[in-house]
Amino acid sequence: DIKLEATRRQKMMTDVKNQGNLNWYTDEQVASRGQAYKSQDLQALFYQLFEVLANGKEMIDEKAYKYLYKRLYYKLHPRGSKKECDALAEAEWQEESKGQGSMGWPVFYDGMFQFVDLWCNSSKEEKYITFTEKLCLPLINDTTRTEAFKLSKARQKDAPSVDPDTDAKLVGEMMNEVQRSIQRTQDPKFLNLVGGSRRWYSEECLRLGMPESKDVAACLCDKGFNMTHIRIAGLGLKTVAPLIDVIRANTELESICLKDNQLGTGSITVLCSILLQHRKLNCIDITNNQICTTRAVHALNTLLTRNVNILSARVRATIPSMHLRRVFLLLEYNQNRTRITPQMFKVLKTAFDNVDQNKDGTIQKSELVTFIANGGSLESAETFTGAGAVQAKKAADQKAKKAAPASAAPKKGGKVKPS
């Protein structure tokens, strides 16, 4: 008899590379894995990694491929040997490149999908994406865009990658700090602090035990908390923790720029949470920080949904490309909201409802023909610009005045009959 799955003892006694499970090859599992292969989100995630490795070119070379292979090898097999790793990397390169000396995107994606398909413990698309995020996001954040594909000593020391597994703990700690910040900023001593934003940034660095950056301090106002623009770009900020109070206190902010600062998922999540209260904010720039996970993406979407005054959000190389479409749609909604007044929207909705006979939320050609054939007429272009709505409102007001009952108040010089 053929056993579909090994016992726990057999798994422990057998090298992981020699294990297998026939349950993954049922018709249902194969169909599920095939669906995952077509996932646009999964393709977008791998394409980001491909772009980093290709370094601006259309192909990746042998050095880039072997660099990637070694990183993945030691991630999954920490006790592996260098000799085995080099041998496997060479064999895989020869197999997938077909001796061409370079590899394009289609071949790269096929190889990476097979890798994830082999190691992921589920056949569901969501699990494939989660597994890929844990492997690829640290690689994307760590890999420099140089030919050697090696981390500089400065970045190895100062900007270690953020493991998605630690995001929950990191975000939780920072959100607790936000709650404490609410209490601090309500203290009268805070608002009357001499030195304003700059002084408070220094105080927070001291309280948190973090080194103070003179360059960051120079970007802040030294009088009060009335800043309308905050721009801290390319200064290696790494975390927004010492700026939580400063950002919260400057309620008149219209724009904030924190690009090129190596901020991770925790910082982006907390930043979006703080900015929910800044109703005058219309521009946010967080480009070229660490590639964030879905937690930060959700926080950004919430910010754009609730703070509809934000008309510009620059998030390139921070928010994964698979989520950019949603961000752009929210921005488009916010921009259109400033152009279409409530009166104009009401007129448009009424006109739409008149044509939409079956109330399915769409207008078919047959519905339009029927509407016109029954004597219906579309509103003029003037109505849709809002002028017609204003005239209609005036006419309705005049009609309401004529139909209103006579007032109980007496005429000038008259008397009211006692009840």
**Which whole number is the average pLDDT over 181-204?**
73
Residue 10: predicted pLDDT: 56
Angle between helices 294-306 and 167-185 in degrees, nearest 10: 40
At 15 the three-state DSSP class reads coil
Among 335, 168, 375, 173, CA closest to 265: 168
- Residue 164 pLDDT grade (very low, low, confident, very high; cuts 50, 70, 90): very low
Residue 229: predicted pLDDT: 93
Using one digit for the tens of pLDDT, what is the confidence trace for 64-85? 888 888 888 888 787 888 888 8
Residue 400: predicted pLDDT: 57
Least confident of 11-20, 81-90, 147-156, 241-250: 147-156
Residue 166: predicted pLDDT: 45
At 60 the three-state DSSP class reads strand
Residue 254: predicted pLDDT: 92
**Which whole number is the average pLDDT over 369-392?**
57
164 or 326: which leads in pLDDT:
326
Residue 281: predicted pLDDT: 93
Using one digit for the tens of pLDDT, what is the confidence trace for 23-72? 666 777 788 888 888 887 788 778 878 887 887 778 888 888 888 888 88
Residue 393 has pLDDT above 60, yes or no: no
Question: What are the two backbone dihedrals, phi and then psi, of residue 255, each rounded to the nearest 5 degrees?
Answer: -150, 150
- Residue 304 pLDDT grade (very low, low, confident, very high; cuts 50, 70, 90): very high
Angle between helices 387-403 and 342-355 in degrees, nearest 10: 90
Using one digit for the tens of pLDDT, what is the confidence trace for 247-258? 988 889 999 999
324 or 412: which leads in pLDDT:
324
**Contact indicator for 322, 294 with CB cutoff of 8 Å:** no
Domains and CATH numbers, the chain: 8-158 (no CATH), 164-337 (3.80.10), 342-391 (no CATH)
- Residue 153 pLDDT grade (very low, low, confident, very high; cuts 50, 70, 90): very low
Residue 160 has pLDDT above 70, yes or no: no
Least confident of 90-104, 240-254, 393-407: 393-407
Residue 9: predicted pLDDT: 57
Q: The whole model's pTM is what?
A: 0.50
